[in-house]
């Protein structure tokens, strides 16, 4: 009796499974078959950092073009890169370029830097001045836990006259994997040999300071720093500006203290853009932070800066479910983002691309083909 009903239940399950597979097969071809109308639906996924900007771009772009639907899912840079390699999206976004090995696995990838982020050092010192000065080495020592107190001679020497309390420093870092952490640790690794050897660069690292707490997201770090007296942390430029919390000035390779701002970040990219590769080459070694650390001429350039990228394939017909109308719409959208879209950046506290990078992106987008035919004709 019992055995029979279990067997029956199993049979029912199998029937349900077969039925659902059959139904899926009936429905599936309809959704992937090329559309006869000129409607285009574009799918993208990836980084969370540029999501507010991309979201704005998509809504502004689609407002004027009701036959184009664009869907962007902020699943994270890692997920974006995976989706790009597996060709499950039409475009992918990531705060980091493809590594050499990933670039081999996704041949024909084009990198299009879309916007720029800057990382700002924020702190919470009751009745201490705003705009404390830091050098990269001192910052690395603080985050290594070697400079333990605000009254440490290393900090005092950089800020003569500032009232620095004799309190222990609490280091606040991102607990989640993030492009922000990558850029910040890239900077610390570039300016400090010890940091590079003990910690290194990555989206998540092993934080060595004994008095360190991790907070989730830029908003989490901002909130934790604001709440924790004598703490220091790092956030995206946008969060430092929106919250109005005190932030530090950083010394650049030209030997001057630079305040983080949209202008100083844009200036940094202008200097670094000289050595950028072409869109169809590997970008794995691109680091604005590292090229700024070398350029002693980069006056007024803020040193902790990075791109956020969109990645597409050069030959779009290799993507499953891609048709010519969609390919056209995708390239048109990216072209719009690189030009008109940049006007929306500043109000959302993103840094617009300097003209040299815009021209580089124009060349990159002109390379895109569909079945061997150039998508953009100009």
Interface residue list for another protein (CB under 8 A): 5-6, 8-10, 12-13, 16, 47-48, 75-79, 81, 94-96, 99, 168, 170, 175-179, 199-207, 211-216, 220, 223-224, 227-228
In the complex, least distance from residue 283 CB atom to another protein, rounded to whole angstroms: 14
The CA distance from 112 to 98, in Å, is 12
Residue in 150, 102, 142 with CA at minimum distance from that of residue 126: 150
Gap between the Cα atoms of 122 and 231, Å rounded: 9
Q: Between 99 and 295, whose beta carbon lies closer to another protein? A: 99
DSSP H or E segment with residue 189: helix 179-191
> Quick one: 143 or 271, whose CB is closer to another protein?
143
Of the two residues 48 and 264, which places its CB atom closer to another protein in the complex? 48
Please, what is the minimum distance in Å from the beta carbon of residue 165 to another protein?
15
Contact criterion met (CB below 8 Å) for 247 and 132: no
CB of 170 to another protein, least distance (A): 7
Contact 249, 301 (CB under 8 A): no
- Cα–Cα–Cα angle for 30, 32, 36, nearest 5°? 75
Residue 203, SS3 per DSSP: coil
How far is 192 from 244, CA to CA, in rounded Å?
29
| Whole-number Cα distances in Å, 236 to 32, 74, 243, 273, 376 | 39, 17, 11, 21, 35
- 209/325 with CB nearer another protein: 209
Strand 249-251 and strand 257-258: the pairing is antiparallel
Q: Based on CB atoms, which residue is closest to another protein, 177 or 280?
A: 177
Nearest-approach distance from CB 321 to another protein, in angstroms: 25
CB of 234 to another protein, least distance (A): 15
Cβ proximity to another protein, 226 vs 261, nearer residue: 226
Taking the least distance from each CB to another protein, the nearer of 75 and 119 is: 75
Angle (deg, nearest 10), helices 179-191 and 136-144: 110
Minimum distance of another protein from residue 331's CB (angstroms): 26
Q: Taking a C-beta distance cutoff of 8 angstroms, is the pair 221, 231 a contact?
A: no
Contact 306, 95 (CB under 8 A): yes
User: Minimal distance in Å, beta carbon 220 to another protein?
Assistant: 7
**DSSP characters over 91-148:** EEEESSPPPHHHHHHSTTEEEEEEEEEEEEEEEE-TT--SS-EE-HHHHHHHHHTSS-
Closest separation in Å from C-beta 114 to another protein? 17
Q: Determine the Cα–Cα distance for residues 348 and 53; give it in Å rounded to an integer.
A: 7
Q: Compare residues 283 and 333 and give the one whose CB is closer to another protein.
A: 283
Which CB sits closer to another protein, 23 or 157?
23
Q: What's the min distance (Å) between Cβ of 225 and another protein? A: 12
């Amino acid at each position: 009796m019992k055995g029979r009903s279990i067997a029956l239940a199993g049979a029912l399950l199998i029937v349900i499974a077969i039925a659902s597979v059959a139904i899926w097969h009936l429905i599936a071809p309809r959704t992937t078959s090329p559309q006869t109308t000129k409607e285009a639906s574009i799918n993208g996924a990836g980084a969370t950092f540029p999501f507010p900007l991309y979201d704005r771009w998509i809504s502004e772009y689609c407002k004027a073009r009701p036959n184009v639907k664009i869907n962007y899912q902020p699943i994270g840079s890692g997920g974006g890169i995976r989706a790009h390699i597996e060709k499950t999206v039409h475009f992918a976004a990531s705060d980091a370029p493809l590594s050499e090995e990933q670039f081999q696995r996704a041949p024909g990838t084009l990198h299009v830097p879309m916007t720029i982020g800057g990382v700002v050092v924020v702190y919470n010192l009751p009745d201490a001045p705003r705009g404390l000065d830091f050098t990269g080495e001192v910052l690395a020592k603080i985050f290594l836990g070697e400079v333990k107190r605000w009254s440490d001679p290393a900090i005092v020497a950089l800020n003569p006259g500032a009232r620095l309390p004799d309190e222990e420093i609490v280091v606040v870092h991102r607990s989640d994997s993030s492009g922000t952490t990558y850029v910040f640790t890239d900077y610390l690794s570039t300016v400090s040999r010890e940091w590079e050897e003990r910690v290194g660069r990555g989206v998540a690292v092993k934080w060595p300071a004994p008095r360190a707490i991790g907070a989730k997201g830029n908003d989490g770090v901002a909130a934790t720093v604001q709440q924790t007296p004598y703490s220091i942390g790092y956030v995206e430029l946008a969060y430092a500006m929106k919250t109005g919390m005190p932030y530090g000035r950083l010394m650049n390779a030209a030997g001057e203290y630079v305040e983080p701002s949209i202008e100083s970040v844009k200036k940094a990219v202008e200097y670094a853009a000289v050595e950028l590769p072409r869109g169809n080459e590997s970008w794995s070694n691109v680091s604005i932070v590292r090229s700024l650390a070398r350029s002693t001429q980069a006056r007024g350039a803020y040193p902790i800066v990075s791109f956020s990228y969109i990645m597409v394939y050069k030959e779009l017909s290799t993507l499953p479910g891609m048709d010519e109308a969609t390919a056209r719409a995708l390239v048109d959208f990216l072209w719009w983002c690189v030009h008109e879209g940049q006007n929306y950046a500043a109000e959302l506290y993103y840094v617009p691309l300097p003209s040299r990078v815009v021209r580089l992106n124009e060349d990159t987008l002109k390379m895109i083909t569909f079945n061997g035919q150039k998508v953009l004709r100009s």
